[in-house]
Amino acid sequence: MTFRRRASVLLAGTAGALLLVMGSPVTASAAQTYTTADVRLNIRSGPGTSYSIVGTLPGSSQVLIYCQTPGTTVTGTYGTSNIWDNISNGEFIADAYVNTGSDGYIASRCA
């Protein structure tokens, strides 16, 4: 199995980069970088386990969180949560596997 490096990971250091997230432009500088758990993580097309898998991230990846939204409740490395992190247009990961330092929202809600 191969891993795809996500655009959100590649743009972490690009000042002024513009991404389209949930239909509205967001600059890379508006998002914060966080580390995922040391497990392979499924990237889904929406905020829940019923959405299709569109990719994977290797353990301990650095990701940008553009916005967050409620979805399927998941138990992971960092607890149990129904928060899902938008890391790129149409790409979500379970917040329970991201070390945000908080049990709640750390970014704006997705539109």
- Splitting the chain (111 residues) into consecutive groups of 10 residues, what average pLDDT does each group show? 39 36 45 92 98 98 97 98 97 98 96 89
Query: Residue 32: its pLDDT value, please?
Result: 74
How many domains are contained in the chain? 1
Residue 75 lies inside a defined structural domain of this protein: yes
Contact 110, 69 (CB under 8 A): yes
Residue 104 lies inside a defined structural domain of this protein: no
Query: Residue 31: its pLDDT value, please?
Result: 60
CA distance 94 to 85: 6
Residue 110 lies inside a defined structural domain of this protein: no
Residue 106 lies inside a defined structural domain of this protein: no
- CATH number for the domain harbouring residue 46: 2.30.30
CA distance 33 to 28: 10
Q: Domain containing 25: what range?
A: 7-99
- Closest of 44, 40, 43 to residue 1, by C-alpha: 40
